[in-house]
């Protein structure tokens, strides 16, 4: 179902497929998507399917956001850094704060940078994160993962993110190559909830 107006002209850059650029969510009867809605997020697949079929370029006016749902459109947007920039943040709340107030992104945060400064910093980091240096910390990472998974053996249910995967990058993304223990010291169970306990839930849906 297409909107009466060309949403592609309203979206910054408008560089999506011809079919997507003529569709909009708010004008599509009965279709509603909000990435902050807990009920939708618990089972998003039916909504995502409708987005792909009915509004591949979805506009949520209340939250002031767009959503792309088709592979080709998402892939095209991801590599089009000149249109879809990171310099104003990559988190919705930060983007809103930067674009609607005097809030500024602190210098030196590579995730919130655009070329050419992002290319410079990425080039420097690439010298650290080489295959050889990553292979050197593989035993450390494997050992930590095994230690973190051991208490979950026999559990009827686990939350793979809350009970395991959230700990791994935070322990190892700052491990100095060649350091015997790096940033992985400490007990992975120190802040663990009982297996299967749910993570922090939003107070309610918007």
Helices (H), ranges, 150-193:
160, 167-172
Reduce the DSSP state of residue 68 to 3 states and report it.
Answer: strand
Distance CA 22, CA 57 (A): 8
Q: Is the pLDDT of residue 8 over 60?
A: no
Reduce the DSSP state of residue 17 to 3 states and report it.
Answer: coil
Which range is least confidently modeled, 39-48, 102-111, 160-169, 183-192? 183-192
Report the C-alpha dihedral over residues 187, 188, 189, 192, rounded to 10 degrees: 140
Nearest to 144 by CA among 174, 198, 189: 189
Q: Is the pLDDT of residue 51 over 90?
A: yes
Does the model's pTM come out above 0.85? no
Of the pLDDT bands very low, low, confident and very high (cuts 50, 70, 90), residue 32 is very high
Contact call for residues 21 and 68 (beta carbons, < 8 A): no
Domain boundaries, the chain: 7-79, 92-126, 128-206
Q: Is the pLDDT of residue 3 over 70?
A: no
Of the pLDDT bands very low, low, confident and very high (cuts 50, 70, 90), residue 18 is low
pLDDT digits (tens, 9 = 90+) for 135-187: 988 898 899 899 999 999 999 999 998 899 888 887 765 555 555 554 444 44
């Amino acid at each position: 179902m297409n909107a009466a107006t060309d949403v592609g002209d309203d979206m910054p850059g408008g560089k999506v497929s011809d079919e997507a650029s003529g569709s909009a969510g708010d004008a599509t009867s009965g279709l509603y998507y909000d990435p902050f809605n807990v009920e939708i997020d618990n089972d998003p697949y039916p909504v995502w399917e409708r987005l792909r079929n009915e509004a591949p370029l979805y506009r949520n006016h209340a939250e002031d956001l767009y959503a792309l749902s088709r592979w080709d459109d998402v892939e095209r947007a991801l590599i089009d850094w000149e249109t879809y920039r990171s310099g104003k943040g990559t988190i919705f709340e930060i983007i809103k704060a930067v674009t609607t107030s005097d809030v500024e992104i602190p210098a030196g945060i590579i995730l919130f940078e655009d070329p050419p400064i992002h290319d410079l910093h990425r080039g420097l980091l690439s010298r650290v994160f080489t295959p050889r240096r990553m292979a050197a910390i593989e035993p450390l990472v494997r050992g930590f993962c095994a230690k973190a998974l051991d208490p979950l053996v026999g559990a009827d249910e686990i939350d793979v993110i809350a009970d395991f995967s959230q700990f791994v990058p935070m322990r190892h993304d700052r491990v100095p190559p060649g350091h015997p223990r790096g940033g992985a010291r400490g007990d992975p169970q120190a802040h663990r909830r009982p297996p299967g306990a749910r993570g922090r839930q939003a107070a309610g849906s918007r």
